A and B are shown apart, each in its own frame.
Chain A
């Protein structure tokens, strides 16, 4: 332990899963005091060093299979590292899997009781605390019925209530916050804040970047078992998004560039990394157009072309520079070129913006139904532009492009590309808007007012 206030101290921690688990060799290894160590096993975690100070909240981001969960298990002590050492201090409550250790035949109250005890609550304190746990879970009378009769929501709510109410020194949470309904999640958040104020350290894994930004003091980005980046949540989240949307081919290069990136406090943009990838000059001002070459949609679907093609799909800022990292409240232009290969009639040009989950947020067509550009001869091209003011909240978005044509009373897509383009809206500090779009009147600062009712 380097200081009295360090709760977790990991040094050069690695975890290797052997290629094939031969029980006999495992047994031999165990008896010889030698860690089961082989030359060709899978390293789930490699050479990870980090510390968590008392009262600090650290988020771990990373794609599936990046070693996050293994790392949590190593910290929790359910698994031992193959190399290196982890030292922890104080009472650890680990939520590696909700309701692990619950027995289906026992009531919620009985299970909560034993669970709380296992998580380290003193036996004298349990009965008193149990009431709080039960109340927090909001399960009501069902609490005295066997947990096998619970819905999965109730089950996880109960498990979470236990872990969050045992006052640990370190709370380890693996993807657990996505439980319950909105109201319960809010309750958990405020309880987590309470714990933070009381000096509890929290180590958690989440795919919900907004939660990492909201809750954490620090974040780590893991990939292929290594910690690529450690720093301010915002900048780590930005890199995480870059990495997850990058095509597989460019990922190794991107990984190297992130590794080379020295975290510089409250940095939000992938500047240093970008410089290495494409060799452009690092922007000095936030307002400067940003184009992140790694932000490429992986889900692009091109429809069969029927006598035309859409090319050159891009977003431009007001100065005509190609961008894909957008700021809120600014005007952008979505452009593409449409080239007819045969003669087409009654053309209607369209676009659509969708979020990560595929919800269609906003779309537009050039002409109302029944209208359209009369005619385009073979070989002729049209540059289509859609100007819009960006009111979307921070996150990643996808754009479609499609052109409808009519021939012999049949209306069809001359060309259509789904998820043709991806962009990201930058996070800005002091966010007050929630949901998907900012509904304030453009140009106003807050748009929210209140006064005490008399």
Chain B
């Protein structure tokens, strides 16, 4: 505490320090979040890898053997499985985040009432956890790609440009849902449903081309459509993403994130009385 008003470099340094602190804390929280899930289980963190692979297997069987789906450009079952998997990975980042978001605050009353804690980092850590699981999935995907095709497209380095905006979008939703989840406990049930809606109303288990022309535009209202399409383009098809769509999506995601954050900050003072 100083008597004089802090000089500008001082303020900047403090802001820089606060930011670094927030980042470190987010890192620590994410680490704990990831580890906590499987702590005490025999499989440990390997469950994070087993789960998506198992999902991949099930969806492949269902959509090739039971309900055969046609996909232009996918001649073999394994091709189809990979197209499906890359979309599913995107979907699980979003859904994993929003399903957990409404209970993030209510399930940690101690963080709200008993210690001084930057609660706005909890949704960030939740996104971080989803990202971790996504990365494991991408590694699995690249591994399979390499084994089947002998190479991984170079455009895969553009993947962060696709995933980044989606994380921002997910974060915006997470802040919003975490905030409203304290007031309206029903949100938990709604987001579970939303997860299914997001899955089937995005070109994940079917190609965008399979959707009738007149409906296609509506599909873009799904926050997953752009990331799923562009993610598939850079990881599997090996083509450049649709830059315009991506740029527009990034702007929307930034707006959503900002709105979510402002909302969270606004309702936060009420938490202690309600949790």
Question: Chain B 206-249, CB within 8 Å of chain A: the 1/0 string?
Answer: 00000000000000000000000000000000000000000000
Cβ–Cβ contact B116 & A4, under 8 A: no
Chain A 107-144 near chain B by CB (<8 Å), digits 1 or 0: 00010011001110011000000000000000000000
Measured CB to CB, the closest approach of chain A to B33, in angstroms, equals 10
Which of B107-115, B134-142, B167-175 interfaces with chain A?
Answer: B107-115
A26-B183, A114-B28, A118-B117 known; A106-B36 Cβ under 8 A = yes
Whole-angstrom distance between the Cβ of A147 and the nearest chain B Cβ: 12
List the B side residues contacting A76 at CB < 8 Å: 115-116
In the complex formed, the residue of B with least CB distance to A76 is B116
CB pair B1–A1 under 8 Å, yes or no, is yes
With A4-B1, A89-B1, A105-B40: A26-B274 Cβ-Cβ less than 8 Å:
yes
In the bound complex, do residue B115 and residue A118 qualify as a contact, i.e. CB atoms below 8 Å apart? yes
Is B184 in contact with A78, judged by CB distance below 8 angstroms?
A: no
Contacts of B21 in A (CB 8 A): 122-123
With A and B bound together, what is the CA distance between A114 and B273 in angstroms? 25
Contact stretch, chosen from A90-98, A250-258, A439-447: A90-98
Known: A4-B2, A27-B267, A36-B270. A105 touches B39 (CB 8 A): yes
Instruction: Answer yes or no: A17 CB below 8 A from chain B CBs.
Output: yes
A356 beta carbon closer than 8 Å to chain B: no
Q: Which of A1-50 contact B (CB under 8 A)?
A: 1, 4-5, 7, 17-18, 21, 23-24, 26-27, 29-31, 36
Name the interface residues of B2-46: CB closer than 8 Å to any CB of A: 2-3, 21, 24-25, 28-29, 32, 35-36, 39-40
B108, closest chain A residue (CB): A101
Instruction: Digitize A171-186: 1 where CB-to-B-CB distance is under 8 Å, 0 elsewhere.
Output: 0000000000000000
Interface size class for chain B? 20 to 34
A158 to chain B, nearest CB (A): 15
Whether A65 sits at the interface, judged by CB under 8 Å, is no
**A96–B2 CB distance below 8 A:** no
With A27-B267, A31-B266 in contact, is A114–B32 under 8 Å at CB? Answer: yes
Closest to B37 in A: A105
B272 within 8 A of partner (CB): yes
Complex: chain B residue closest to A114, CB-CB: B28
Contact A27 B183 (CB under 8 A): yes
Confirm or deny: B68 has a beta carbon within 8 angstroms of a beta carbon on chain A.
Answer: no
The answer to whether A94 and B183 touch across the interface, beta carbons within 8 angstroms, is no
Q: Mark B161-201, 1 if CB is under 8 A from A, else 0.
A: 00000000000000000001011110000000000000000
Assuming the contacts A73-B272, A103-B32, asked whether A94 and B115 have C-beta atoms less than 8 A apart, the reply is: yes
Complex: how many Å from CA A100 to CA B114?
6
Q: Known contacts being A30-B270, A106-B32, is A123 close to B24, with CB within 8 Å?
A: yes
Residue of A nearest to B23 (CB): A123
B93-116: which have CB < 8 Å to A? 110-116
Residue B117 contacts which of A36, A101, A146 (CB distance < 8 angstroms)? A101
Instruction: State the CA gap A100–B24 with chains docked (Å).
Output: 20
Tell which of B3, B28, B40, B269 touches A117, judged by Cβ atoms closer than 8 Å: B28
- The answer to whether B273 touches A17 (Cβ under 8 A) is yes
Across the interface, A106 reaches (CB within 8 A) one of B39, B111, B267, namely: B39
A-B contacts at CB below 8 angstroms, number: 99
Given the known interface contacts A77-B116, A100-B115, A117-B25, the answer about A26 and B270 at a Cβ–Cβ threshold of 8 Å is yes
C-alpha gap A397/B36 in the complex (Å) = 51
Contacts of B184 in A (CB 8 A): 23, 27
Contact residues in A for B40 (Cβ distance below 8 Å)? 105, 146
Contact B116 A105 (CB under 8 A): no
The A-contacting residues of B in range 114-160, CB under 8 angstroms, are 114-117
Query: What residues on A are CB-neighbors of B111 within 8 Å?
Result: 100-101
Q: In the assembly, what is the distance between CA of A4 and CA of B272, in Å?
A: 30
| A25 to chain B: closest residue by CB | B183
Q: Is the CB of B39 within 8 A of A97?
A: no
Cβ-closest chain A residue relative to B180: A27
Distance between Cα atoms of A105 and B32 in the complex (Å): 10
Selected from A23, A79, A117, A122, the residue in CB contact (under 8 A) with B113 is: A79
Which residues of A lie under 8 Å from residue B110 when comparing CB positions?
A: 97, 100-101
Are A80 and B272 neighbours in the complex by a CB distance under 8 Å? yes
- Cβ of B113: which chain A residues have Cβ within 8 Å of it? 73, 78-79, 96, 100
In the docked arrangement, what's the CA distance between A5 and B2, Å?
9
CB distance from B180 to the nearest CB of A (A): 8
Q: Report Cα–Cα, A252/B152, bound state, in Å.
A: 81
Chain B proximity mask over A72-92: 1 for CB below 8 Å, otherwise 0? 010011111000000001101
Q: In the complex, how many angstroms separate the beta carbon of B116 from the nearest chain A beta carbon?
A: 5
Q: How far, in angstroms, from A90 to B116 measured CA to CA in the complex? A: 13
A17 to B273, CA, bound (A): 7
B274 and A18 within 8 A (CB): no
Contact B273 A78 (CB under 8 A): no
Residues of A close to B115: CB separation below 8 A: 76, 78, 94, 96, 100-101, 118-119
Contact of A78 with B272 at beta-carbon distance under 8 Å, contacts A27-B267, A30-B267, A97-B110 already known:
yes
**Chain A neighbourhood of B180, CB < 8 A:** 27
CA distance A4 to B1 in the complex (A): 7
A-B contact pairs, 7 of them (CB 8 A): A23-B183, A73-B113, A77-B116, A100-B111, A100-B114, A106-B32, A117-B24
The 5 closest A-B pairs by CB, nearest first: A100-B114, A100-B110, A105-B39, A89-B1, A79-B272
Q: Which residue numbers of A lie inside 8 Å of B, CB to CB?
A: 1, 4-5, 7, 17-18, 21, 23-24, 26-27, 29-31, 36, 73, 76-80, 89-90, 92, 94, 96-97, 100-101, 103, 105-106, 110, 113-114, 117-119, 122-123, 146
